[in-house]
Amino acid sequence: MDDNIEIDLNISHHFSDGVYARKMLLPAGHFAVTHAHEYDHLSILAAGIVELEADGEVQVLRAPACVTILANTHHQITALEDAVWFCIHATDETDVDKLDEVLIRR
């Protein structure tokens, strides 16, 4: 697979009082790029099977699964079969154009 190909992950945004959930549809063989946050957060695998790499440690998750991603942990999700993945964040930001700026550690 060419690393320069971008695919549409069909991201959808869900907001509640101080909580944001990002839903991604990951086709088999594709991944959400590595990144980190300055705080712990939950991630939920609602469907499928993924490989979660967190600071070099790899684990295979089968839906349904809920994991805590610790603060400052670089993590990447690779779909081993078509998957539905939710990232759950505590934030009051609701502008989708500003979310990555607020949530992702630079």
Domain boundaries along the sequence of the chain: 12-103
Closest by Cα among 21, 25, 22 to 10? 25
CATH assignment, 12-103: 2.60.120.10
**pLDDT, position 99:** 87
Q: Record the pTM.
A: 0.85
Give me the mean pLDDT over the 30-40 stretch.
88
Average pLDDT of the chain is: 90
69 is written with which tokens?
């991603």
Give yes or no for residue 2 having a pLDDT over 70.
no
- The answer to whether 45 and 61 are in contact (CB under 8 A) is yes
pLDDT digits (tens, 9 = 90+) for 69-104: 999 999 999 999 999 999 999 999 999 999 878 887
pLDDT digits (tens, 9 = 90+) for 58-71: 999 999 999 999 99
Q: HEC string of 30-99?
A: CEEEEECCCCCEEEEEEECEEEEEECCEEEEEECCEEEEECCCCCEEEEECCCEEEEEEEECCCCCCCCH
- pLDDT band with cut points at 50, 70 and 90 for residue 5: low
